[in-house]
Amino acid sequence: MKKIIQKTIPVLFFLCVTACGYSQDLQNIGKKKPLKLTGSVGANYSSTFTNDTGRAPLPSSYSFNAGLNFELFGFSVPVTVAVSNGRFNISNAFNQFGMSPYYKWLTLHGGYRQMSFSEFTLSNQTFLGGGIEANPGKLRLGAMVGRFAKAVEYDTALFGKTIPGSYPLDAQYLNGQTFYNRKPSYSRLGYGLKLGYGTKNNFFDLMLFKAFDKKSSLKDTISSNRVLPEENFVLGFNTFHRVAKHFSFGVNAATSIYTYNTSAEDTIALEFDKTVKNFIETFIKLRTTTQLQVAGSANLGVTYPNFSIQAQYRIIQPYYRSMGITTFLSDLQSISLTPTFSFFKKKVQFTSNFQTEHDNLNKYKVFTTMRNMINSTVSVNPNNTFGVDLSYSNFSLNQKKNQIKASDSTRLAQQSNTFTLMPRLMFLKRNFSDIISLATSYTNISNKVSVQDALKTTNFYTTLTNTISLTKSGWSFTTGLNYNNAKSTGINLISAGGVVGIAKGFFDNKFSVSSNNTILSNNSNGTNIGKTFSSDLQLSIEPKKRQHFTIGGNYTQSPANGIYNQNDFTLYRLDLGYQYSF
């Protein structure tokens, strides 16, 4: 693999002088300007003072950013620099670059790239290397080779130290000491192939993907003793067909053979046909830590101008993994239906989604968890002045006991329903607009452990908002009324109040100011517990065409109420920013 990468990258280096982003069309290269520089530089600072540091882990923070883009005959070379709270990061054409030039049916990928074969094999994982996609006629070809992860070792200089100005995301423990560090990882290399035939509406693709951790990439024994080298081989297919304009169906499936420790030299006695086993061991050695998992989905669609329905069946075996995809749910079997209707020239539209799913496909778990979800919306828009949306959402969770000795004391059940009503009036004139909207929502939630009474929570929320904009003068006014009632065991919290906002642009909007203020009176179990107050002020200044200053501040105060706040909360925040574009 190392030799393949070493041979691939130099060939593509000349091409790898542009940013990750858009493909470049070689047919038009002669029409491009020989050199063009664009970009922006900026800085930001924020400071927060609060009595609850849990809500503001960064009392003060600063950042500097620069993004430069060099264009050479249509090819782009971006250089980005970011400094945040003393941590320096630079990305430029010599340590992170990529491009995808194309000519007719041929596309080349070089540098830091993302490619996608299918949902279960290779899907938008960033790698450093090279790739090719070719679609001559109805052939669908793809190939890639590269590095998916760099080797990372513990930084012993961080033992027993914290990271200034921030809270660590990962705390490690070693020899009685606590230190903050990135989790160690091996260098991960891989390659993939795709061979298919057809068009975007009717095709069949076969995919192969292989990736592995390079054991020699970690020299530090502390690091290598804490992580295991892994290996993965995936075979999959993806097909889609559209029939008679209104009907479509597709199937996407893959088998993943995953080894969780390639250091284990003993082999596994999996029962494979000899020919199949020889084929598999051409790509991956079967060991005691090797597992075989399957994932797949099937889709069926019916589409007409005023009606459509999509159906999907999905199954993912427990612990299904591919090194070519990001982490997603496994141990899952689901069925979903999504119908849509429209009436009266689409003035009335209905959309809904019904989904049922469960886990415990291998029956190893004590409980099987079943989930059912419904999300439905009706939108009525008889004219440009009036409209209303009505929504209903339901979520239910239940667990079924699979073992006689399983304790009911941990079996869970949950049910929630949400009803939402959102009417609106819009009066739009040439120099004037007035939008009146009402948002009302009611939610009830019931959580239950089998041996206990259900814990019930309800929440009713409504807000009436009126926004008036005067186009000619630049003034904008917002007023509103809010009401919220939350009930839980032993607590009945009511909050009521209003919102006032104002905005104005001056000197052709080169200077603008806006402020939004909210005040709520709070009542808990019939007792007044104080007021919640929030106020912010924002200033935007553009002294010249490409320069932009922002100054903002916020003050928030809210009392303890037993549901949202356990203690009184106060916050002051200041934000400063500057950006220059060229």
Give the Cβ contact number of residue 6 at 10 Å. 9
What distance in Å separates the CA atoms of residue 164 and residue 522, rounded to the nearest whole number? 38
What distance in Å separates the CA atoms of residue 226 and residue 480, rounded to the nearest whole number? 56
CB of 66 within 8 A of CB of 83? no
Give the Cβ contact number of residue 548 at 10 Å. 18
Q: Predicted confidence band at 69 (pLDDT cuts at 50, 70, 90)?
A: confident
| 229-288 tens-digit pLDDT | 999 999 999 999 999 889 999 999 999 999 999 887 776 655 677 788 888 888 988 888
Tell me how many degrees the CA angle 214-218-222 measures, rounded to the nearest 5: 140
**Residue 487 confidence (pLDDT) above 50:** yes
pLDDT for the residue numbered 444: 94
Q: Predicted confidence band at 94 (pLDDT cuts at 50, 70, 90)?
A: very low
468 φ/ψ angles, rounded to the nearest 5 degrees = -115, 130
Closest CA to 423 of 436, 413, 412: 436
Helix (H) or strand (E) holding 274: helix 274-280
Distances (CA, A) of 386 to 53, 118, 347, 423, 574: 45, 44, 11, 8, 40
**Residue 1 confidence (pLDDT) above 70:** no
| C-alpha 104: how far from chain center | 33
More confident residue, 153 or 213: 213
**What pairing do the DSSP bridges indicate for beta strands 75-84 and 87-91?**
antiparallel
**Residue 142 confidence (pLDDT) above 50:** yes
Q: Predicted confidence band at 98 (pLDDT cuts at 50, 70, 90)?
A: low
Provide the 8-state DSSP code for 275: H
**Considering the chain, what percentage of its residues have pLDDT values greater than 70?**
79
554 φ/ψ angles, rounded to the nearest 5 degrees = -145, 140
CB of 48 within 8 A of CB of 59? yes
**Considering the chain, what percentage of its residues have pLDDT values greater than 90?**
49
Provide the 8-state DSSP code for 473: T
pLDDT for the residue numbered 137: 93
pLDDT for the residue numbered 312: 97
More confident residue, 470 or 73: 470
| 47-64 tens-digit pLDDT | 888 876 555 555 777 888
What distance in Å separates the CA atoms of residue 562 and residue 568, rounded to the nearest whole number? 10
Closest CA to 293 of 325, 315, 262, 276: 315
Q: Give me the torsion for CA of 16, 20, 22, 25, rounded to 10°.
A: 0
pLDDT for the residue numbered 527: 87
Closest CA to 59 of 76, 45, 47: 47
**Residue 136 confidence (pLDDT) above 60:** yes
What distance in Å separates the CA atoms of residue 572 and residue 537, rounded to the nearest whole number? 12
Average of per-residue pLDDT across 65-75:
70
Distances (CA, A) of 261 to 218, 267, 289, 475, 494: 15, 12, 6, 65, 56
pLDDT for the residue numbered 86: 47
Helix (H) or strand (E) holding 222: helix 221-224
Helix (H) or strand (E) holding 280: helix 274-280
CB of 375 within 8 A of CB of 353? yes
Where do the DSSP E strands lie in 181-230?
Answer: 187-198, 202-214
Q: Predicted confidence band at 20 (pLDDT cuts at 50, 70, 90)?
A: very low
Closest CA to 124 of 116, 133, 136: 116
| C-alpha 345: how far from chain center | 35
pLDDT for the residue numbered 292: 92
| C-alpha 338: how far from chain center | 22
pLDDT for the residue numbered 119: 92
Closest CA to 78 of 64, 91, 95: 91
What distance in Å separates the CA atoms of residue 564 and residue 535, rounded to the nearest whole number? 19
**Residue 12 confidence (pLDDT) above 90:** no
Mean pLDDT, the chain, rounded, equals: 83
What distance in Å separates the CA atoms of residue 338 and residue 354, rounded to the nearest whole number? 6
Length of the chain: 582
| Least confident span in 57-61, 383-387, 560-564 | 560-564
What distance in Å separates the CA atoms of residue 428 and residue 387, rounded to the nearest whole number? 14
More confident residue, 94 or 214: 214
More confident residue, 407 or 338: 338
Average of per-residue pLDDT across 439-464:
87
